[in-house]
Amino acid sequence: MPASGADEPGFGVYVHWPFCQSKCPYCDFNSHVVANVDQARWAKALTRELQYMRGLTGPRSVRSIFFGGGTPSLTEPATVEAVLTQIAALWTVEQGAEITLEANPTSVEAARFRGYRKAGVNRLSLGVQSLDDRELKFLGRLHTADEALRAIALARETFPRLSFDLIYARPGQTKEKWTAELRAALAHAVDHLSLYQLTIEEETAFARLYEKGAFKLPGEDEAAELYALTGEIAAEAGLSAYEVSNYARPGAEARHNLVYWRYGDYAGVGPGAHGRISTEGKRLATRTLRMPGAWIENVERDGHGLEASEEIPGAAQGDEMMLMGLRLEEGVSLARYAALAGKEIAAPRIGNLIADGLLMRNGDIIRTTPQGRLVLDALLARLLA
């Protein structure tokens, strides 16, 4: 994988589908439980907002398209096809562009999978989260471990590329239990895994339960040990930690997320979608209305559901780029930071972090050490103060 700054980050399109079968207790994403969705109406609204975004971005070459949520696998293949057709009409889609759709094992159907593949989806991201039925129940998931494994097998048959998610550092999870579960998962993984430590997000069901003392999470030292163990086991299977929570075989890194982490441009459509768009010498942060009803009414009336479109000052651009880029194993270009921020990072700050074993430097590129990744927020606070 090329060093940050050696490769143009690329341009992506993010499409948010906000509907789910149920709300997971740990989830703070913009998702809503709705029984019946007018797919034709939503397809029309999404394609219309894409037209508006094309007016902001101008002609671009699309490297990746990502259907996130919510549960995008609740969409009809015809809806996905309509969106992809519109994107191809508005921008130039690169040969071999990555087109990802998130799916839950409970919404898996062979016919629907074939429909997504026919529409152009070439990468599936499955929200497995655990291979233990008791843990799945705790996480509020609707599928069983057997359903997850069947979904993985079906996805491997249908799509050229596959990733799935697991959540670890759960209450009472020992290193031995996580080792067994992760190795079982790796036996079914193709080229990419997203492995997230369970965190308590504000205004979620888990946040309320946690405050009441209903469960405890592993302490910092125990969580750090689980993180290190995760990297070791993934490496044994040939997957490197190219990002803090993402592991891939060489060449199988998620291209869409690399657009984010390398601080590229992306257009975001759908309720609650964010975007970063460079236009007329400015970089804009866009954000759409979160509530599905308000969003679709605004799109039908105005052609878009934007709640905000704000210019990002140069200093903030540099900070954003550093915040995203230091998550990557490849690191960040100091020259690019200076070009965006209009200032350089003081050499003593970098030197002190290197001396503390948190950063590494190779010419223009700085990277976090394994220890630095464990305290990334504190590292950034010192680096960018």
- Predicted local confidence at residue 96, as pLDDT: 94
DSSP string, 261-329: HTT-EEEEESTT-EEEEEETTEEEEEEE-SSHHHHHHHHHHHS--EEEEEEPPHHHHHHHHHHHHTTBT
- Has residue 360 got a pLDDT over 60? yes
Taking only the tens place, the pLDDT of each residue in 248-286 is 999 999 999 999 999 999 999 999 999 999 998 899 999
Higher pLDDT residue, 6 or 32? 32
Name the band, by pLDDT with cuts 50, 70 and 90, for residue 379.
very high
- Average pLDDT value for residue range 299-317: 97
Phi, psi (rounded to 5 degrees) for 131: -110, 25
**Is it true that the peptide bond before 70 is cis, omega within 30 degrees of 0?**
yes
Q: Which residues pair with 93 in a beta bridge?
A: 62
Domain 11-260 classification at class level: alpha beta
Query: Which residue in 119, 122, 70 sits closest to 100, CA to CA?
Result: 122
Q: Is residue 219 classed exposed, middle or buried when 0-12, 13-18 and 19+ CB atoms within 10 A define those classes?
A: exposed
- pLDDT confidence band for 109 (50 / 70 / 90): confident
Give the model's pLDDT for residue 7.
59
CA dist., res. 15 & res. 39, Å (int):
14
Cβ atoms 102, 83 nearer than 8 A: no
Residue 263's contacts (CB-CB under 8 Å, 6 or more residues apart) are 9, 276, 317, 320, 321, 324, 325
Whole-number percent of the chain with pLDDT over 70: 98
Residue 4, pLDDT score: 38
- Note the pLDDT of residue 200: 92
Q: E strands within the chain?
A: 11-17, 19-20, 32-33, 61-69, 92-103, 123-129, 161-168, 192-197, 240-243, 246-248, 265-269, 274-279, 282-288, 306-311, 332-333, 359-362, 365-368
Q: What's the pLDDT band for 81 if we cut at 50, 70, 90?
A: very high
Residue 2 pLDDT > 50: no
Phi, psi of 365, rounded to the nearest 5 degrees: -100, 130
* Cβ contact 141:129 at 8 Å: yes
The predicted structure's pLDDT at residue 229: 96
Assess contact for 197 and 169: CB atoms under 8 A.
yes
Q: Name beta bridge partners: 134.
A: none
The domains of the chain are located at 11-260, 336-384
pLDDT digits (tens, 9 = 90+) for 13-60: 999 999 998 889 989 888 899 888 999 999 999 999 999 999 999 999
Tokens of 165: 């998610």
Residue 34 CA to residue 23 CA, distance in Å, equals: 11
Cα 128 from chain centre: 15
CA dihedral 184, 187, 189, 192 (to 10 degrees): 80
Q: Which residues fall within 8 angstroms of residue 113, CB to CB, at 6 or more apart?
A: 124, 154, 155, 158, 159
**3 pLDDT higher than 50:** no
Query: Which range among 3-17, 27-41, 230-244, 330-344 shows the weakest confidence by mean pLDDT?
Result: 3-17
Return the ∠ at Cα 263 (arms to 262 and 266), rounded to 5°: 115
pLDDT at 287 exceeding the cut of 60: yes
Strand segments, DSSP code E, in 105-260 are 123-129, 161-168, 192-197, 240-243, 246-248
Average pLDDT of every residue of the chain = 94
- Beta-sheet strand order (sheet of 92-103): 240-243, 246-248, 192-197, 161-168, 123-129, 92-103, 61-69, 11-17, 265-269, 274-279, 282-288, 306-311
Rounded Cα distance, 111 and 354, in Å: 53
Residue 26 DSSP code: T
